[in-house]
Amino acid sequence: MDMSDAVIVKSSRLKSVVWNDFDRIKKGDTCVAVCRHCKKKLSGSSTSGTSHLRNHLIRCQRRSSHGIAQYISAREKRKEGTLAIANFNLDQDSNKDDNTLSLVNIKFEQTQLKDDSVNTGTSNFDQRRSRFDLARMIILHGYPLAMVEHVGFRAFVKNLQPLFELVTLNRVEADCIEIYDRERKKVNEMLDKLPGKISLSADVWTAVGDAEYLCLTSNYIDESWQLRRRILNFIRIDPSHTEDMLSEAIMTCLMDWDIDRKLFSMILDSCSTCDNIAVRIGERLLQNRFLYCNGQLFDIRCAANVINSMVQHALGAVSEIVNKIRETISYIKSSQTILAKFNEMAKEVGIMSQKGLFLDNPSQWNSTYSMLEIALEFKDVLILLQENDTAYKVCLSDVEWDRVTAVTSYLKLFVEVINVFTKSKYPTANIYFPELCDVKLHLIEWCKNSDEYINSLASRLRSKFDQYWEKCSLGLAVAAMLDPRFKMKLVDYYYPQIYGSMSVSRIEEVFEGVKALYNEHSIGSPLASHDQGLAWQVGNGPLLLQGSVKDSRDRLMGFDKFLHETSQGEGTKSDLDKYLEEPLFPRNVDFNILNWWRVHTPRYPVLSMMARNVLGIPMSKVAPELAFNYGGRVLDRDWSSLNPATVQALVCSQDWIRSELEN
Tens-digit pLDDT profile for residues 396-437: 999 999 999 999 999 999 999 999 999 988 899 999 999 999
Length of the chain: 663
Identify whether the C-beta of residue 480 lies closer than 8 Å to the C-beta of residue 433: yes
Q: What is the DSSP letter of 390?
A: T
Task: Identify residue 380 by its one-letter amino acid code.
Answer: D
Report, as ranges of residue numbers, the positions in the chain whose pLDDT lies below 70: 1-15, 61-123, 524-555, 557-558, 560-571
pLDDT at 453: 94
CA-based nearest residue to 640, from 180, 206, 170, 136: 206
Provide the pairing of β-strand 198-206 with 124-126.
unpaired
Count of Cβ atoms closer than 10 Å to residue 44 Cβ: 21
Which amino acid is it at 11? S
Strand partners, 634: 206
pLDDT of residue 163: 92
**Residue 10 near residue 17 (C-beta atoms within 8 A):** no
pTM for the model stands at 0.76
Q: What are phi and psi of 9, to 5 degrees?
A: -80, 130
Helix, strand or coil, per DSSP, at residue 259: coil
Judged by DSSP in three states, 176 sits in helix
> Is residue 475 helix, strand or coil?
helix
Q: Contact at 8 Å (CB) between 200 and 267?
A: yes
Q: What angle do CA 377, 378, 379 make, to 5 degrees?
A: 95
The mean of the pLDDT values for the chain is: 84
CA gap 36, 62 in Å, rounded: 9
Angle formed at CA 122 by CA 117 and CA 125, multiple of 5 degrees = 20
Question: Which pLDDT value is given to residue 45?
Answer: 82
SS percent in the chain: helix, strand, coil, step 5: 55, 10, 35
Question: Which residues does residue 126 pair with via DSSP β-bridges, in sequence order?
Answer: 117
* Other CB atoms within 10 A of residue 427 CB: 17
Q: Which contacts qualify for 555-563: CB closer than 8 Å, 24 or more apart?
A: 560/523, 560/524, 560/525, 560/534, 561/536
The predicted pLDDT at position 271 comes to 85
Q: How far apart are the first and last CA of the chain?
A: 62
**CA torsion, ordered 370, 372, 374, 377, to nearest 10 deg:** -150
91 DSSP β-pair partners: 100
Closest of 581, 587, 577, 578 to residue 483, by C-alpha: 587
